[in-house]
Amino acid sequence: MWELWTIGLFVYTLLVVRLCFIVPCFSLVKKPTGSTTRWERKSLMVLLGSGGHTGEMLRMLTSVDSLDRLRKITFVVSSGDTSSIVLLEKFAKKKRLTKDTYTILELPRARSVGEGLLSSVKSTIISTFSTFATLSRQGHRIGHPDILMVNGPGTSVPLCLFFTCWNFLGESNTRILYIESLARVKRLSLSGTLCRPLAHRFIVQWAELAGKTNAEYHGILV
């Protein structure tokens, strides 16, 4: 009996130590700081969350001069979000991105704007399972990105959870870059609150919010 307890305690200790090295909020490894992110020869996954989120994300990417030096870009859109795909195609044409340099991946929407609390929770749970299943199934095609870039739509949460789990299991080494929406002036969004413990870099765009949350602040980025 004592042998089982000893083995269990040993395994538990290993898991806790692993968690401390992987999950940023517990991490024993110093987080990166500074206003720049190196993109050269990296693979990037970007979440386009429809509407304002998509517009903000594409405007931020427009200002990245080294975008063409990325090895690969995967753009994630919610199912049925044709408007984001139209905006993405215009962006790709402007940045001269060819079809062989980027991929579009469709995931179920986590929740809809104005959706009730219970319905929202149900949609998020379904989206999380669907996200895990889709990314696990298509991992060989899209690969595991070096950087995951999100800015607040509901699907941010399942994506951040997935790559945190994969990092924990040693299947990937994805760094999560969360940039809070410009619309968030005084408090974090629900997605931001949930994703912050998982993000390697968490950036807000208003000094007032940075003062309240102790997040990174580099001015307005969009």
Six-digit token string for 22: 């992987």
pTM: 0.85
What pLDDT does residue 10 have? 66
What pLDDT does residue 28 have? 46
Q: Residue 24: which pLDDT band, with cuts at 50, 70 and 90? A: confident
> How far apart are the C-alpha atoms of 26 and 93, rounded to whole Å?
41
What pLDDT does residue 96 have? 87
Return the higher-pLDDT residue of 127 and 37: 127
For residue 127, give the nearest of 167, 156, 165, 169 by alpha carbon.
156
**Sign of the torsion formed by the C-alpha atoms of 47, 49, 55 and 60:** negative
> How far apart are the C-alpha atoms of 197 and 191, rounded to whole Å?
11
- Domain positions in the chain are 39-217
Burial of 117-136, coded b for 16+ CB within 10 Å and e otherwise, reads: eeebeebbeebbebbbebbe
Q: Give the CA distances from residue 18 to residues 11, 22, 62, 172, in Å, rounded to whole numbers and listed in that order.
A: 11, 6, 37, 14
157-182 residue pLDDT tens: 999 999 999 999 988 899 999 999 99
What pLDDT does residue 212 have? 92
Domain 39-217 coded CATH 1.10.8: no
> How far apart are the C-alpha atoms of 196 and 203, rounded to whole Å?
10
User: What is the maximum span of the chain, computed from C-alpha positions, in angstroms?
Assistant: 67
What pLDDT does residue 5 have? 67
110-128 residue pLDDT tens: 655 555 556 667 777 888 8
